Amino acid sequence: MKKLVLAFAFCALPLAASSGARADKIDLSTTTCAQFLESDKTEIMLTLAWLDAYYKDVDAPPVIDTDKFVENAGKLGEYCAANPSIGLITATDELFGE
């Protein structure tokens, strides 16, 4: 849980500081791959950070492996481009779930 909070805090700080920060909720349970790919850069980065923390093992150290993060983001982008109607969580479960 701490990793999740840290991931959100890390991403939210720049958003809070910007005057154009949105207050929208992102419901990943209903987001399709197409919607994810069409999102703005900030929303994509927030989502990727959340997903990175979500799919880590509970006992994993609080480390962001930027190489792995970029690799996984690329895998998700390719998968979603090939499967735009699939739900985002379905896609990530297939790619990164156990």
- Give residue limits of the domains in the chain: 2-17+26-96
20-49: pLDDT as tens digits = 555 588 999 999 999 999 999 999 999 999
Summarised one tens digit per residue, pLDDT across range 60-95 is: 999 999 999 999 999 999 999 999 999 999 999 999
Residue 11 has pLDDT above 90, yes or no: no
Contact 36, 80 (CB under 8 A): yes
What stretches of 1-98 show up as alpha helix (H) in DSSP? 2-17, 33-38, 41-54, 66-82, 88-96
Residue 19 banded pLDDT, cuts 50, 70, 90: very low
Helix axes 66-82, 41-54, angle to 10 degrees: 110
Residue 44 has a pLDDT of 96
Per-residue confidence (pLDDT) for residue 85, from 0 to 100:
98
